Copies of this chain bind each other. A is one copy, B any other.
Amino acid sequence: MTKEFFNVTPVETIFEYIAEFSGTGTEIVDLLAAGGRILAGEIVSDIDLPGFDRSTMDGYAVRASDTFGASEGNPAYLDICGSIAMGEKPDITVLPGKAARIATGGMLPEGADAVMMVEHASEIDDMTIEVYRRVAPGTHVIQKDEDIRKNTRLLSPGTFLRPQETGIIAAMGMPRVTVYKKPVVGIISTGDELVPIERHPEAGFIRDINTYTLASAIHLCGAVPVSCGIVEDRFDPLFAAAECALSQCDMLILSGGSSVGTRDLTVEVIEALPGAAIRVHGLPVRPGKPTILAEAGGKSIWGLPGHVASAMVIFEIFVKPCIRHISGDRGAFDGNDFRIPAVLTRNLSSAQGRIDYVRVRTVEKGGVLFAEPVLGPSGLIRTMLDADGLIRIGMNSEGLEKGVQVMVMPFHQY
């Protein structure tokens, strides 16, 4: 049994390594199923939107100048020259002194340059309206290119497709769209003490929880988890499993090996993979110090701690941006995640030279959001169950005092 020897990598550096991994290929999907995917191409408008001057109100298409001076006390009178149906190019022209009935979304006829709201006019008979307001040219009208102008670069590669981006692609008339493939992420749990969850664990054994927590986490960040099974702590089977998984997946996560001996084994196995290089072996963070990141053939290989909470925290902070990055998401590193302010409910100690990620439960009392640290060893899944987010204690801090404001990164939610 050897002592713990490894040099930690600065946290910024790991993101630089992550940024070097290649993205997945592309595929064409139906636009109805494109929400949440990452756009692979560029979208440039080939039309003006809406494409014609469009009313935003129910009312009357008028010439604005005909309404100048109109008021409740001194209405203007206009002749009705027709009605504009939805979904037609009107064949009427609004001449001076005339008005045409128009509904929201209708196309403005020739001559008209504004819409008088129905609330501000009355039909005194079938032929005539009186109007009580003045409108300026353009009032209640969307100009033909006011939403999108032809030849505008609308979306660039790497854009996360929210409903609005899907909508803009629909507006461009594209029922199918090219997106990046969802990365396939293999999971191998290592440890002689692990049994498949279907089995009752005898004393000394535990069920393989990490495969399931990681599969869920992978799925929730938009990738496809593949369970590659439980492998004992021996070189040959672990090497065979890792090589096989890597050939089938875009990324490989090994979890387990929290003891120094098995951690060494994980490193040995990764180093033996064709073309593999260890990039990170140890991070100045808690929990998760023994984290490993390696590269082989452009693919990332992660060695996560076996402790269930450690593996989940490292996943949230480091593996998720990596998955988002290889998913093609240019927002993968935005890292705006610690942004919900809350008041810390107890003192927390830390050590200079490392970042602590502390599990917290947020509780609202009297309109104030409090962050209650959920303490306990990182081998306890209960600590993650009770928590709904993380706070961070920085490198140069020796701790945080009760009552200070902290910023919470919430766990996944819709």
Contact = CB atoms under 8 A, between A and B. Distances in A.
B193 A87 contact: yes
Interface in A371-394: 377, 379-382, 384-385, 387
Contacts of A225: 32
Contacts of A125: none
A102 B48 CA distance: 71
A133 interface: no
A384 B324 CA distance: 23
Which range contains the number of A residues in contact with the other chain? Answer: 35 or more
Nearest to A384: B164
Number of copies: 2
A170 interface: yes
Contacts of A297: none
Contact of A385 (B85, B168, B381): B168
B162 A216 contact: yes
A336 B414 CA distance: 11
Contacts of A174: 197
B204 A258 contact: no
User: Which of the listed residues A173, A306, A312 has the most CB atoms from chain B within 10 Å of its own CB?
Assistant: A173
Given A191-B87, A339-B369, A412-B162, A219 B35 contact: yes
Given A164-B385, A379-B147, A170 B339 contact: no
A260 B58 contact: yes
A169 B233 contact: no
Contact of A173 (B202, B207, B380): B207
A192 B87 contact: yes
A216 B35 contact: yes
Contacts of A31: 197, 212
A90 interface: yes
B204 A169 contact: no
A-B pairs, top 6 by smallest CB distance, nearest first, are: A35-B216, A103-B259, A87-B192, A170-B212, A87-B193, A167-B213
17 contacts: A50-B206, A50-B379, A58-B261, A87-B192, A105-B258, A106-B204, A107-B203, A162-B411, A163-B216, A163-B217, A165-B385, A166-B212, A166-B215, A166-B216, A167-B216, A331-B413, A412-B414
